[in-house]
Amino acid sequence: MTTPKPRARDLGIDMPGKPGPLNAVTDVPGVEVGTVELLSSRDPALMTRGIQVQTGVTAILPRGRDSEPKPVWAGQFSLNGNGEMTGTHWVRDGGWFCGPIVITNTHSVGPAHAAAVRWMVETYGDVWENNHLWAMPVVAETYDGVLNDINGLHVTEAHVRKALDAAKRGAVPEGNTGGGAGMICYEFKGGTGTASRRIDAGGGSFTLGALVQANHGMRPWFRVAGKAIGRRMTEDRIPGMSAERGSIIVILATDLPLAPGQLERLARRASIGIGRAGSPGGNNSGDIFLAFSTANEMKLPQLSGPWRQMTMINDELLDPVYLAAVEAVDEAVLNALCAAEDVPLARPPKGVCKAIDLDQLKQVLATEG
């Protein structure tokens, strides 16, 4: 086993706010994450078309493996819509969703959706079967065709189910993991990243966690802790990348009681989070965000009585919550970059998508005004 690379905080980067014990989305009680990678560097048999395979699946279970289908309240926002996140029409109308979240590459939304539906049918059993219930899981994507044979359609339902079955509490693997295996961020190797913040509100203590699939940004835009790092770290840029061609998915989770409208506003703050590292949300980028709360546990409306009760925080107390989201998203992107490893480009021109040089990053941060 290799020694884990240091995360952003380990490098001494000024990361404001108080993280949870894992500094991960799994600090939110009940949230579980699983990842699966398809890597021809480990299994050459995957390379059926003479192009390397470097892709995967990330699965998030908002309520773990609860055998009763209990929705979570949610809100969604798209900063730039050149991408896909299924189920969000209903999130915007109904304010909730039920079941897992799956993140993968652009051409694997179909098998991911089918596998998530099958997981819901099997997990919820007779309750699902006998009440004419239907599944609209959240499946999101970013494009990994620069590093992966995306047109080979290598991700199958079985791979997605493996990620769902692997979901657990605890530390979340970052960098070249899950759906982030083949992603590029600010022309460095990107991928999966996570972070969390503790929030004191209304006399209680709560957690907000972020998970990102970071595949966005141009090198000259890149900033760390307010410093223009990308203008100094100019080596090994991606050949031919003259405009934004990536995307980022952000999932925000919390146990703070929030109403759907508040969660939509929280999801918007992910825009500021990714903006801290320099991204303006390019025209060809799918910058798509979802926020959910595990508070206000409920049954599905189809299985409920005529009335609902909800606890929600006073809007006047939301500023620290918004700040926590901005900080966690920014740190999650940096954690994805810090954890990543070099990957060869999948197609000509030949080259390598280099992971960020952490020693150089520290040196530039120390000298950049």
Q: Are 267 and 252 in contact (CB under 8 A)?
A: yes
Instruction: Catalytic residue, from 27, 144, 149, 287: name it.
Output: 287
308: its two tokens: 């609902």
Q: Are 242 and 266 in contact (CB under 8 A)?
A: no
Closest by CA position to 303, among listed 162, 124, 103, 177: 124
Count of C-beta atoms within a 10 Å radius of residue 120: 20
Backbone angles phi, psi at 27, to 5 degrees: -70, -20
The strand pairing partners of 54, in sequence order, are 39
Instruction: Catalytic residue, from 196, 285, 293, 330: name it.
Output: 285
287 is catalytic: yes
How many whole angstroms separate alpha carbon 174 and alpha carbon 190?
A: 9
Q: Are 321 and 201 in contact (CB under 8 A)?
A: yes
236 is catalytic: no
257: its two tokens: 């009681």
Q: Are 213 and 184 in contact (CB under 8 A)?
A: no
Write out the DSSP string of 216-263. ---GGG--BTTB-GGGT--TTPPTT--S---EEEEEEEE-S---HHHH
Residues 6+ apart with CB under 8 A from 355: 175, 188, 189, 337, 340, 341, 342
285 is catalytic: yes
Which segments of the chain are extended strands (E)?
32-39, 54-61, 72-81, 96-97, 101-105, 138-142, 184-185, 188-189, 191-201, 204-215, 247-254, 286-293, 343-344, 352-353
Instruction: Catalytic residue, from 247, 271, 279, 293: name it.
Output: 247
Instruction: Enter the DSSP assignment of 346.
Output: S
- Just list the catalytic residues: 247, 285, 287
